[in-house]
Amino acid sequence: MEPAARRTYRRESEETRRADLITATQELVAEGGPEAATVRAIAARAGVTAGLIRHYFQSKDELTRAAFVSLMDGMTAKGADALEGVGAQPEERLAAFVSASLRPPVMDVGAVVLWAGYMHKVRNDPALRLAHEASYLAYRNILQSLIAALPREATEAQQRAEAIACNGLIDGLWLEGSVLTHAFAPGEIVTIGLRSVGAILGVDLIAHSAMLPDPGKILP
Amino acid sequence: MEPAARRTYRRESEETRRADLITATQELVAEGGPEAATVRAIAARAGVTAGLIRHYFQSKDELTRAAFVSLMDGMTAKGADALEGVGAQPEERLAAFVSASLRPPVMDVGAVVLWAGYMHKVRNDPALRLAHEASYLAYRNILQSLIAALPREATEAQQRAEAIACNGLIDGLWLEGSVLTHAFAPGEIVTIGLRSVGAILGVDLIAHSAMLPDPGKILP
DNA sequence: CGACAGATTATCCAAACGTATAACAGTTGG
DNA sequence: CCAACTGTTATACGTTTGGATAATCTGTCG
């Protein structure tokens, strides 16, 4: 057999290559679960050969960790982004935060599958457990600060409990809304989330969500 | 080389063997994630050899499906069991159901990891998606019937929305309470769950949970 | 423009995977 | 107590996996 032609390639910066490999890993896990993310499949999607993974990451496990941390950071960042460009009224800000978490691109079945695919590693790998916990607390603290800004009387302990409750509610709705897409009407999850968070906190968020995009008219 | 000594064995009933293999699969996925549940590991834990799996299941995938269905059925069954032997008062029954879902053995990190490990198969495999959806609806319908029994005025549409909300809240708290065990005080999740479900529905569940086991004194 | 450094590819490897099948042995009915 | 049945084991196969190493190409700097 004659020697195969060696493929041409471009040298890229370290950050580019690492980002490409991380993105490829996330996409594959989101699409086909953890077992679909083999070193060969990751390399193929990133447009490189398998050996390059070990050039940038000590092992596949390290790439896996990096991909998870990137996922979690991205999700909280997207939530916080929703607070930019919204008014200063506390109820309005909270409503914006809640509804952003219950809409695409945060509410997405691929994101759920990706997140779920890492659960057992979160349990067993101390570094991942730390990253997961930090990300959870970061999100909850944003929530708690939004709650604290509401015009109500409430102790800090009560605000903590309310933040835990709202966080759980949002997470559960995010999960079910993402996976059971066609079990709910368009915008139903957002409306239910706003109403329930409002009920838990004793404020009316629906009335303050008028400025936000219509839940029923979200583009795919 | 002389022939290896053949291991002695007992013939078991089909149901026993199938249950053993399913249990072994669930334990392995819960402990080490989906990739730990190889045919050889499953067989070893079930006390048989690998070939037997194919005698009872057409493929490993079919065993996987059976294990997931068994998991979901078991979880909803455990929730419904909590309604046995509790009083007839609606608030008390709802409180029992909620708190059972937020305690061991339902609230357990192994259960979460096991459930999460199947998420991507739920997405891709139509049979599993159906099973998952049926299980979700079964749980939610129990919840909705408990809500409908409360002494309140509420339309059916409103009860449906409330059931979705409470289901999401319970699922989210189940998830976080299971994975982030040491981030919460003992019984804190149960208390928050009862208070928040009460807030969403406009009833006081804490007052009606006095008969239930003390959340702070659950045995491991 | 030529040489150097290292980014990238190509190739190889041992281990583990799911599956297939033949041989064996426990169980059951006559 | 033997014969048929089938649950179960043992063994082998072809594929794929993550990891390691050698060869080579690309961009850069003197």
Same domain, A46 and A129: no
| Residue B31 and residue B130 in one domain | no
pLDDT in tens, B162-179: 999 999 999 999 999 999
| Chain C footprint positions (protein CB, under 7 Å) | 7-11, 16-22, 24-27
Residues A110 and A193 in one domain: yes
CB contact under 8 Å between B179 and A33, yes or no, is no
Closest partner CB to B171 (pick from A132, A167, A172):
A172
Is the shortest CB-to-strand distance from B61 to strand C under 7 Å?
yes
**CB contacts, 8 Å: A180 with chain B:** 133, 136
Which of A130, A1, A20, A13 is CA-nearest to residue A72? A130
Judge whether B5 lies within some domain.
no
- Domain membership of residue A4 (yes or no) is no
Are residues A83 and A181 part of one domain?
yes
Is A5 a member of any domain? no
**pLDDT digits 0-9 by tens, A10-47:** 888 889 999 999 999 999 999 999 999 999 999 999 99
Mean pLDDT (chain A) is 91
Judge: A167–B175 Cβ closer than 8 Å, yes or no. Answer: no
Is A173 found in the same domain as A145?
yes
Position B120 in a domain:
yes
Interface probe with A: pick from B39, B108, B120, most Cβ of A within 10 Å: B120
> From the list B32, B33, B119, which residue is nearest A112 (CB)?
B119
Flag whether B125 is in a domain: yes
Q: For residue A63, which nucleotide's C1' is closest to its Cα?
A: D18
Q: What is the ipTM of this complex?
A: 0.89
Q: Which residue is the nearest neighbor of D27, CA to C1'?
A: A11
> Residues B138, B49: one domain?
no
pLDDT for residue A213: 60
* Count of domains forming chain A: 2
Q: Which residues of chain B have pLDDT under 70?
A: 1-5, 210-220
pLDDT score at B214:
53
D2 C1' to B50 CA distance, Å: 32
CB A138 within 8 A of CB A76: yes
CATH at residue A42: 1.10.10.60
Let me know if residue A3 belongs to a domain: no
What per-residue confidence (pLDDT) applies to A220? Answer: 35
B4 within domain boundaries: no
Check B123 against A109: CB less than 8 A apart: yes
pLDDT bin (cut points 50, 70, 90) of residue A209 is confident
Sign (positive/negative) of CA torsion A87, A88, A92, A94? positive
Residues A118 and A24 in one domain: no
> Mind telling me how many Å the CA of A51 is from chain B's nearest CA?
22
Q: How high is the pLDDT of residue B4?
A: 52
Angle of CA points A101, B145, B205, to nearest 5°: 70
Q: Taken in order A27, A31, A36, A40, is the CA torsion positive or negative?
A: negative
Q: Average pLDDT of A87-91?
A: 91
DSSP A71-111: HHHHHHHHHHHTTTTS-S-HHHHHHHHHHHHTSTTTS-HHH
Identify whether the C-beta of residue B115 lies closer than 8 Å to the C-beta of residue A176.
no
User: Are both B20 and B98 inside the same structural domain?
Assistant: no
Residues B120 and B30 in one domain: no
The verdict on residue A2 lying in a domain is no
**A217 pLDDT exceeds 50?**
no
Last residue in a domain, options B38, B57, B76? B57
Q: Are residues B130 and B179 in the same domain?
A: yes
d(CA A162, CA B192): 8
Based on the domain organization, do A181 and A146 belong to the same domain? Answer: yes
Residues whose beta carbon sits under 7 Å from strand D: A 6, 8-11, 37-41, 50-51, 54, 59-61; B 3-7, 9-12, 14, 17, 43, 47-52, 55
Dihedral sign for Cα atoms in the order A189, A195, A198, A200: negative
Other beta carbons within 10 Å of A155: 8
Looking at chain A, which runs of residues are DSSP E strands?
Answer: none
The pLDDT value given to residue A211: 59
Domain that includes residue A39, residue range: 10-57
Q: How far is A8 from chain B (nearest CA, A)?
A: 35
List CB contacts (< 8 A) between A29 and chain B: 120
Q: What is the pLDDT of residue B218?
A: 40
Mean pLDDT of A146-150: 97
* Co-location of A140 and A196 in the same domain: yes
Q: Is the CB of B16 under 7 A from strand C?
A: no
The whole-number Å distance from A12's CA to C7's C1' is 8
Instruction: Spell out which residues of A between 19 and 78 contact strand C, using CB within 7 Å.
Output: 43, 47-52, 55
pLDDT digits 0-9 by tens, B3-49: 456 888 888 888 999 999 999 999 999 999 999 999 999 999 999 99
Q: From the CA of A49, how many Å to the nearest CA of chain B?
A: 24
Proximity of residue B33 CB to strand C below 7 A: no
CATH code for the domain in which residue A164 is found = 1.10.357.10
CA angle A132, A134, A135 (to 5 degrees): 65
Subunit contact A175:B171, Cβ cutoff 8 A: yes
Distance from CA of A117 to the nearest CA of B (A): 6
